[in-house]
Amino acid sequence: MNNLNEKEKMLNGEIYDASDELLIQERENAKDLCFEYNHLLPSKIDERKILIKKLLGKTTENFHIEQPFYCDYGYNIEIGENFYTNVNVVILDCAKVIFGDNVFIAPNCGFYTAGHPFDVEQRNKALEYAYPITVGNNVWIGAGCSILPGVTIGDNTVIGAGSVVTKDIPANVLAVGNPCKVIREI
């Protein structure tokens, strides 16, 4: 018998109840921090870094996250050295989202670990699942990309603007499209 609580189920990639009180509280905490972050003056770099370090699970010293920035929990996000996101990035981090070093993310990108069951009865009960996303080192993600649950993007890869990444993308390639496919090696 499964005696895991809803948070443990979420972190284990199992179907879980997103309306669980603990998960609601943790999302509200993260959203409050995002609200505070997004309303700081852009010139308040030190204050912004302090809030991001409080919000995210792992940070480095050299990173820059443009406002606005949104996430679900924050503690499941790990960023490497020299990390940059442009405006309006959304990370639904119900599972781990790990970014390597030298990752550059263009505006309006989303990283979505959460999904909902195809079974209508489960879906209508607000049940969901979450699978981790991993982005390697030296990756550039173009504007307006969606990275879906369970995806890994290899080192030195470029994801073209507007792509919907539904499956793993290997290292050292240019990939683009909906669904995102490898165009050529780089």
Percent of the chain residues past pLDDT 90, beyond the cut: 95
Domain residue limits, the chain? 6-185
**Residue positions annotated with a catalytic role:** 116
Mean of the pLDDT values across residues 26-42? 98
| Rounded distance between C-alpha atoms, residue 28 and residue 48, angstroms | 19
Q: 65 burial class (0-12, 13-18, 19+ CB within 10 angstroms)?
A: buried
98 within 8 A of 132, measured Cβ to Cβ: yes
Q: Which residues pair with 70 in a beta bridge?
A: 90
Above 90 in pLDDT, residue 98? yes
| Rounded distance between C-alpha atoms, residue 59 and residue 171, angstroms | 23
Q: Which residues pair with 110 in a beta bridge?
A: 90, 146
pLDDT of residue 2: 66
One-letter amino acid for residue 8 of the chain:
E
pLDDT of residue 126: 84
- Residue 147 or residue 122, greater confidence: 147
pLDDT of residue 3: 86
pLDDT of 3-17, one tens digit each? 899 999 999 999 999
Total-model pTM: 0.95
29 within 8 A of 138, measured Cβ to Cβ: no
pLDDT of 155-179, one tens digit each? 999 999 999 999 999 999 999 999 9
| Rounded distance between C-alpha atoms, residue 149 and residue 165, angstroms | 9
The CATH class of the 6-185 domain is mainly beta
